[in-house]
Structure 1
Amino acid sequence: MSEPATLADPAMLDKIDKLFACNVGEYIDLPQLVVVGDQSSGKSSVLEGLTQLPFPRDSGLCTRFATQIIFRRNKELSVRTVTASIIPAGDSGADRASQLKEWSAGWKGGLEAEHFSQVMAEVHEKMGLSTSEGSSQSTFSKDVFRLEICGPEEDHLSVIDVPGIFKNTTPGLTSKADIHVVREMVEGYMKNPRSIMLTVVPANVDIATQEIIEMAREFDPGSERTIGVLTKPDLVDKGAEDKVLDLVEGKKLYLQHGWILVRNLNQQELQYGNVNRDLEEEAFGRKAPWSSIPPDRFGIKSLKNRLQETVTENARRTFPSVRSEITKRLRDSKNALKVLGGERETPEQQAGFLLDIVAKFQDITYQALSTNYGANNIFDRHRDLRLATIVVTRDTEFADDLNKWGHQYEFNIDDDFCPSSPSICEGETTKTRKVQNVAELEDVTAEQTQESLPSDDDDINQWLGDLYLNSRGFEIGTFNVSLLATSMKKQSKKWTNFARGYISDIITMVHKFIVKTLEIVSGDKRVYSSLVSIMMDDLLEKYRCALNHVDFLLHVERNGTPKTLNHYFNDNLQKCRQQRLTALLKKKGVENLSVTDIIMQDHMSNDEYTVQVIHDILESYYKVARKRFVDNVCVQAADYFLVTGPETPMKLFSPAFVNRLSPEKLAEIAGEEASVRRRRANLRKEIRELEEGRKMLI
Structure 2
Amino acid sequence: MFSLLATRNSNFSTMSRSATPTEPVTTPSEPESPVTSDTPPNLFSIEGLQNDEQRRVLDMIVQIRKCGLEGNLSLPQIVVCGDQSAGKSSVLEAITRVPFPRSDGLCTRYATEISLRRANSSSLTISILPDEDRPPVEQEQIEAFVQTIDNFDELPRVMDLAKAVMGISNRGDDGASTRAFTSDVLRIEISGPTQPQLTLVDIPGLIATSTRGVTKDDVDMVAKITDYYIKQPRTICLAVVCATNDYANQKILEKVRDVDPEGNRTLGIITKPDGLPEGSISQKNFIDLANNEDIFFKLGWHVLKNRSYEESDFTIEERDEAEATFFRTHSWNSLSPDCLGVNTLRTRLCNLLFEHIKRELPQLHDELEAQLQKNRDELAILGVKRSTATECKAYLSKMSLDFHSICKAAVNGQYEGSYFLNDIDPDFSLESSSTLSRTRAVIQDLNSRFEEGIRLNGHKYQIEMSATSDNKEEEEFQWPRAQGRFSFGPTGSIPKVLNKVDSVAWIGKVLKRTRGRELVGNFNPLLIGALFWEQSSGWEKYASSHLELVSSICRRFLKKLLHDTCPQDVETRLWALRIEPELKKRHQSAVKELNMLLDELKEYPINYNHYYTDSIAKRRQQRQQVILEKAMKDASSSQTGGKVFNDNTGVWERPEIQVVDTAAAIANFTSASQPDMNEFACEEVLDCLFAIYKVLQKTFVANVTTQVIERHIVRGLENIFSPVTVNDLEPAQAEALALEPAAAGRHRAYLEDLIKKLEEGHEIFQSVM
Moved more, 94-103 or 629-638: 94-103
Letter in 2 for 1:259: V
Cα distance in 1 for residues equivalent to 2:78 and 2:626: 106
Partner of residue 225 from structure 2, selected from 162, 179, 185: 185
Partner of residue 305 from structure 1, selected from 320, 343, 358: 343
Give deviations 1:117-166, integer Å, cap 9, x for gaps: 443235525xxx56643535664344432212234676776443222222
Moved more, 339-348 or 304-313: 339-348
Q: After the TM superposition, which residues 72-151 of structure 1 pair with which residues of structure 2 at under 5 Å, given as runs? A: 72=117, 77=121, 80-87=122-129, 103-112=145-154, 115-121=157-163, 123-125=165-167, 132-135=173-176, 139-151=180-192
Change beyond 3 A, Cα 1:90–1:25: farther
Cα distance in 2 for residues equivalent to 1:205 and 1:494: 90
TM-score when normalising by structure 1: 0.65
Give deviations 1:277-303, integer Å, cap 9, x for gaps: 558758977999986589999xxxx95
Give deviations 1:45-104, integer Å, cap 9, x for gaps: 5555654445275995x7222222234566x54xx5211233567999999888766642
Contact 1:433/1:501, CA 8 A, preserved across alignment:
no
Cα distance in 1 for residues equivalent to 2:674 and 2:246: 126
**Corresponding position of 2:413:** 367
Q: After the TM superposition, which residues 36-75 of structure 1 pair with which residues of structure 2 at under 5 Å, given as runs? A: 36-44=81-89, 47=92, 51-55=97-101, 57=103, 60=106, 63-72=108-117
Deviation at residue 261 of structure 1 after TM alignment: 1.5
Partner of residue 291 from structure 2, selected from 254, 257, 265: 254
Partner SS for 1:148: strand
Letter in 2 for 1:325: Q
**2:363 is the alignment partner of 1:325:** yes
Deviation at residue 15 of structure 1 after TM alignment: 3.8
- Over the aligned positions, Cα root-mean-square deviation in angstroms equals 6.5
Q: After the TM superposition, which residues 239-250 of structure 1 pair with which residues of structure 2 at under 5 Å, given as runs? A: 240-243=277-280, 246=283, 250=287
Partner SS for 2:147: strand
Deviation at residue 330 of structure 1 after TM alignment: 1.8
Give deviations 1:625-684, integer Å, cap 9, x for gaps: 656534542333442122x33x23565674249869999999999999999999999988
**Corresponding position of 2:24:** none
**2:264 is the alignment partner of 1:225:** no
Partner SS for 1:55: coil
Contact 1:163/1:186, CA 8 A, preserved across alignment:
yes
Cα distance in 2 for residues equivalent to 1:389 and 1:156: 62
Partner SS for 1:145: strand
Contact 1:34/1:160, CA 8 A, preserved across alignment:
yes
**Corresponding position of 1:500:** 540
Cα distance in 2 for residues equivalent to 1:495 and 1:202: 88
Deviation at residue 106 of structure 1 after TM alignment: 1.2
Deviation at residue 431 of structure 1 after TM alignment: 9.1
Cα distance in 1 for residues equivalent to 2:717 and 2:289: 78
**Corresponding position of 1:166:** 207
Contact 2:458/2:542, CA 8 A, preserved across alignment:
no
Cα distance in 1 for residues equivalent to 2:680 and 2:334: 123
Partner of residue 597 from structure 2, selected from 550, 553, 575: 550
Letter in 1 for 2:50: A
Change beyond 3 A, Cα 1:95–1:651: farther
Moved more, 279-288 or 388-397: 279-288
Contact 2:81/2:226, CA 8 A, preserved across alignment:
yes
Report percent identity of matched pairs: 19
Letter in 2 for 1:387: I
Q: After the TM superposition, which residues 281-430 of structure 1 pair with which residues of structure 2 at under 5 Å, given as runs? A: 304-334=342-372, 342-343=381-382, 360-367=406-413, 380-382=426-428, 386-392=442-448, 394-395=450-451, 398=454, 421=478
Deviation at residue 225 of structure 1 after TM alignment: 1.9
Deviation at residue 40 of structure 1 after TM alignment: 3.0
Deviation at residue 510 of structure 1 after TM alignment: 2.9
Change beyond 3 A, Cα 1:252–1:578: closer
Deviation at residue 500 of structure 1 after TM alignment: 2.9
Contact 1:68/1:144, CA 8 A, preserved across alignment:
yes
Contact 1:156/1:308, CA 8 A, preserved across alignment:
no
**2:683 is the alignment partner of 1:636:** no
Letter in 1 for 2:713: T
Cα distance in 1 for residues equivalent to 2:113 and 2:92: 11
Cα distance in 1 for residues equivalent to 2:206 and 2:610: 100
Moved more, 489-498 or 343-352: 343-352
Q: After the TM superposition, which residues 668-679 of structure 1 pair with which residues of structure 2 at under 5 Å, given as runs? A: none
Deviation at residue 318 of structure 1 after TM alignment: 1.9
**Corresponding position of 1:476:** none
Deviation at residue 327 of structure 1 after TM alignment: 0.9
Cα distance in 2 for residues equivalent to 1:154 and 1:450: 89
Letter in 2 for 1:148: E
Deviation at residue 112 of structure 1 after TM alignment: 2.5
Contact 1:342/1:353, CA 8 A, preserved across alignment:
no
Cα distance in 1 for residues equivalent to 2:611 and 2:302: 105
Cα distance in 2 for residues equivalent to 1:438 and 1:403: 13
Contact 1:39/1:165, CA 8 A, preserved across alignment:
yes
Letter in 2 for 1:321: R
Cα distance in 1 for residues equivalent to 2:508 and 2:544: 35
**Corresponding position of 1:263:** 307
Contact 1:406/1:498, CA 8 A, preserved across alignment:
no
Letter in 2 for 1:119: L
**Corresponding position of 1:648:** 713
Change beyond 3 A, Cα 1:95–1:486: farther
Cα distance in 1 for residues equivalent to 2:619 and 2:158: 115
Contact 1:81/1:151, CA 8 A, preserved across alignment:
yes
Cα distance in 1 for residues equivalent to 2:674 and 2:201: 118
Give deviations 1:506-537, integer Å, cap 9, x for gaps: 4355346446656775779x989x88986785
Deviation at residue 435 of structure 1 after TM alignment: 6.0
Contact 1:54/1:116, CA 8 A, preserved across alignment:
no
Partner SS for 1:325: helix
TM-score when normalising by structure 2: 0.60
Contact 1:285/1:291, CA 8 A, preserved across alignment:
no
Contact 2:126/2:186, CA 8 A, preserved across alignment:
yes
Change beyond 3 A, Cα 1:164–1:351: farther
Moved more, 116-125 or 331-340: 331-340
Letter in 1 for 2:208: K
The unaligned stretches of length 5 or more in structure 1 are 425-429, 440-445, 474-478
Change beyond 3 A, Cα 1:322–1:244: farther
Letter in 2 for 1:63: T
Moved more, 668-677 or 356-365: 668-677
